[in-house]
Amino acid sequence: MQRRLTAVEPRFATFNIERETPGNRDGRRDFVHFWFYGWLASPFVWLADESGLNPVYAFTLLNLILLGLALRVALPRVGLPACLLLFGGPILCG
């Protein structure tokens, strides 16, 4: 993997995957951003469980909040047409 990363981007030549990612018992590696989304979702999942709702609603609410934050940042910078294309394109074409 190190050789493949370095072939794509030479700056990865000094990247040490074992130092930068936590390891599992079975030897696989996890990147931290995979844990971050679950950490963000955990209060919403807890609320859904306590309310007797399906956890899908928790992830939907989190995704809507993140979409709203992204729109708040992008809309003043790139405008409505670009935001519709950027954020709506994957929804409409996916």
Q: Is the per-residue pLDDT at 14 higher than 80? A: yes
What token pair was written down for 62?
Answer: 């989190």
Give the model's pLDDT for residue 69: 96
Per residue in 24-36, pLDDT (tens digit) is 788 777 777 777 8
Q: What percent of the chain lies above the pLDDT cut of 90?
A: 47
> Nearest Cα to 46, choosing from 31, 59, 34?
59
Position of tokens 């928790």? 58
Residue 66 vs residue 10, higher pLDDT: 66
Per residue in 71-89, pLDDT (tens digit) is 999 999 999 999 988 888 8
3-state secondary structure the chain: CHHHHHHHCHHHHHCCHHHHCCECCCCCECCHHHHHHHHHHHHHHHHHHHHCCCHHHHHHHHHHHHHHHHHHHHHHHHCHHHHHHHHHHHHHHC
pTM: 0.64
CA atoms in the 13 A half-sphere facing the CB of 26: 2
